[in-house]
Amino acid sequence: MAARYSHLNSIPSGRNVRIIQDRRVLSDAYVPETLPGRDEQILMFEEHLEPLLFNEPPSHMAFTGMAGTGKTAVAKHVLRHKSEELRGAPVRFIYINCSQANTSYRVMYQLNRAFGILVPPSGYPYDVLEDNFRKAFLEADVRMFLVLDEVDLLVRRDGGRLLYSLTRMNYDLDLRRNSVTVLGISNTLNFLDRLDRRVLSSYNPDRIFFQPYSADELYNILLQRARLGLRPGSWEDAALRRIAAKVAREGGDARRAIDLLRMAATLAERDRSGKLTEDHVEQAEIRVDESEVQVAIRTLPFHHLLVLKAAVDLLLAGDPRPGTGKIYERYERYARRFLVSPLTMRRVSAILRELESQGIIEIEMSYGGARGNTKVVRGTALPPLRLKEILNEVTRV
């Protein structure tokens, strides 16, 4: 039996060209045993959870920091250890990511499920779900520690309604037995400032700030992943250093560093040289950008495509910084050509912002006085010509 698959191990010229040993380690979803560069935050978080050991309610918390600074990793890492330490104690840890559950209803739906209640995922009165949850929570007779990851996405929609009613519950509970504690994780630094007074007075979290990773910290992260996921001796140190330096310059996003490492390792494996070098990193930089933008564009709704097409065509026609007005004019023509009625300028203006937040275009405000305050497309993630090619592929269907 084994012999049948022996060709999998036979490598030409006896050299080992495999590089990746465990691909899972090279994904940002993987949470390693230690988190380089985040000792301070881990310690602070653990201290905040200390009261649970004495059956007392911890205070609410907020993690803030740019994308890829380890907020989610620290939360998961610490919670994993704490829930073992507190095994058997009347404590319930719940993690909910608000990028999927971005309305009060959907978070409440998840909370119902967490307490074993099955309710329809939509079409049901919200009040019923809230009542369900309250009853089940009291029934369970526990302290709840709820992590709301990417909570800013939820707050943007519901205005803090859920945050308020959850934290407000503590005022009606017997805190000697039950409590609700919320940890909100947010990518936007000012999300607390945007909360309503009433919400803030009952949520009022202790904050832990996550600064961007330095080049050294990124290097340590990459080294850790390489040791865990790559074949020993299959990478050049300079390759890791190069990723670390580049990503640190761009803003210290560990997710991006890990993406680059995975892509570089994949490319290195593909060319069968058996070693991951700086050259592979250089190729990976282009590939990662390209594939991210391609995926983003492919999933764009139709009107977004038309708006993007209008902007790209203006750039190609020689306008270095096309503004909303011109883009809208051209977009209108395209819409009619495709026999759909054009959206309003208000909406197109918002679509430009959405294209920006997807990293497809770069926008800058232009305070042009008599010519108006306008958004201006300053640049694109890929060369305009390349974008046009991708757009043509997508709109052909």
Partner DNA sequence: TATCCACCGGAAGATGGGGTAT
Partner DNA sequence: ATACCCCATCTTCCGGTGGATA
Chain residues that interact with DNA, rule: CB under 7 A: 102-106, 120, 122-127, 157, 301, 303, 323-326, 343-347, 349-353, 365, 367-375
Min dist CB 200 to DNA, Å, is 15
Which of residues 87 and 346 has its CB atom nearest to DNA in the complex? 346
Residue pair 160/195 in contact by the 8 Å Cβ criterion: yes
Which of residues 103 and 211 has its CB atom nearest to DNA in the complex? 103
Min dist CB 383 to DNA, Å, is 24
CA–CA dist 362, 108 (Å, integer): 36
Nearest Cα to 103, choosing from 166, 165, 151?
151
Which of residues 6 and 357 has its CB atom nearest to DNA in the complex? 357
Q: Angle between the 215-229 and 237-250 helix axes, to the nearest 10 degrees?
A: 140
Write the CA distances from 320 to 101, 256, 286, 392, 396, integer angstroms: 40, 29, 23, 21, 27
How many other C-beta atoms lie within 10 A of the C-beta of residue 50? 11
Residue pair 265/25 in contact by the 8 Å Cβ criterion: no
Residue pair 231/192 in contact by the 8 Å Cβ criterion: no
Which of residues 318 and 369 has its CB atom nearest to DNA in the complex? 369
Which of residues 47 and 329 has its CB atom nearest to DNA in the complex? 329
Which of residues 123 and 318 has its CB atom nearest to DNA in the complex? 123
Min dist CB 127 to DNA, Å, is 7
C-alpha angle with apex 74: 73 to 77, nearest 5 degrees? 80
Both structure tokens of 135: 């009853």
CA–CA dist 157, 37 (Å, integer): 33
Backbone phi and psi for residue 3, each to the nearest 5 degrees, phi listed first: -60, -35
Min dist CB 195 to DNA, Å, is 12
Min dist CB 226 to DNA, Å, is 39
Min dist CB 157 to DNA, Å, is 6
Which of residues 4 and 346 has its CB atom nearest to DNA in the complex? 346
Min dist CB 387 to DNA, Å, is 20
